Structure 1
């Protein structure tokens, strides 16, 4: 630069001016980073949602298996009851020499029925436990799905905020992100 009003740019001056005129909007860069973080967290939430849904299905399947096993035990119990009833009828109809045999049969059937009943009740309890686990996993799945949806909407709003440069849309991004993260935390802590 000369002292007479004539100005000559050096190569570095030109680069500085160009950088100042074409500098990326720091606001846009911030939203881009936030969007990338939200997409990553959203992918994790979506995975967790899928995993809990799969677990719920597996637990429901286990509940059905245990319920079928309990039903089989109750059918076995009913068969023993029928045999016990026939033995009791035989006591009334059989000659005196055979009555002690049928009395022993009645006692045996009562003992067997008591054991079968315990097994059937245990299987019903296991079935209910699996049903409860399935319901808990489905509740958690819904929380993960809500969290994922909130983050997806926040990401879409980030694009709108970048395009429109409206401050309210940026605040909406932050608000929806907070809701999504809170719902994810609720799912993580089983609320």
Structure 2
């Protein structure tokens, strides 16, 4: 209450003014800042984990598509082989006047089979490459997930340290936060 230049503050008013004028001090202020930093880093790591998981799925899908295309080419190759076999059988069974046509067919089927085989092998190699890329993305996803999980545990430890006012829990928080950041760095470096 004020009156004629005399002003009395309540205890709560004094604490609010003090908090507004000064930076947070002590373990509580430091843990609050540390928690905010860890949460921000964790959110970034979580995003990267989701992105790598999505990439892994897309790459695996591309591998399946290429594998299907390769299987189709191998089926086409088998069809040409069957036609070639029938033409070879026809050469043995038909008269001399028709053998030339079937021999030409046999040579054509041989050439076509080489092209088809090359295409099928190329598609299988592409499928293998997409599978490899998917596996790499899954590895990175796991690394990002590990980093995010350790950071989340670190944030929980910060809350426990704040509530219990145990100084050693602050060191656990910092240690786990550091481990999480190192795991994130390993993911960033594709290790």
Task: Establish whether TM, by shorter chain, passes 0.5.
Answer: yes
Structure 2 unaligned blocks of 5 or more: 1-5
Q: Distance in 1 between matches of 2:27 and 2:61?
A: 50
| Count of residue pairs the alignment pairs up | 177
Partner of 2:3 in structure 1?
A: none
Residue pairs, 1:1-191, within 5 angstroms? 25-191=25-191
CA distance in 2, matches of 1:87, 1:179: 69
1:20-76 deviation per Cα after TM superposition (whole angstroms, max 9, x unaligned): xx7654221011000000000000000000000000000000000000000000000
Distance 2:80 2:168 in 1: 74
Q: Hey, what's the Cα distance between the residues in 2 that align with 1:139 and 1:158?
A: 29
Look up the SS of the partner of 1:190 in the other structure: coil
1:87 offset after TM fit, Å? 0.3
Residue equivalent to 1:4: none
Q: For the residues of structure 2 that align with 1:98 and 1:175, how far apart are their CA atoms?
A: 85
Distance (Å, rounded) in 1 between the aligned partners of 2:58 and 2:190: 19
Inter-partner Cα distance in structure 2 for 1:51 and 1:151? 18
Query: 1:55, 1:143 → 2: CA distance?
Result: 14
The TM-score with structure 2 as length reference comes to 0.88
**Is there any run of 5+ residues in structure 1 with no aligned partner, and where?**
1-9
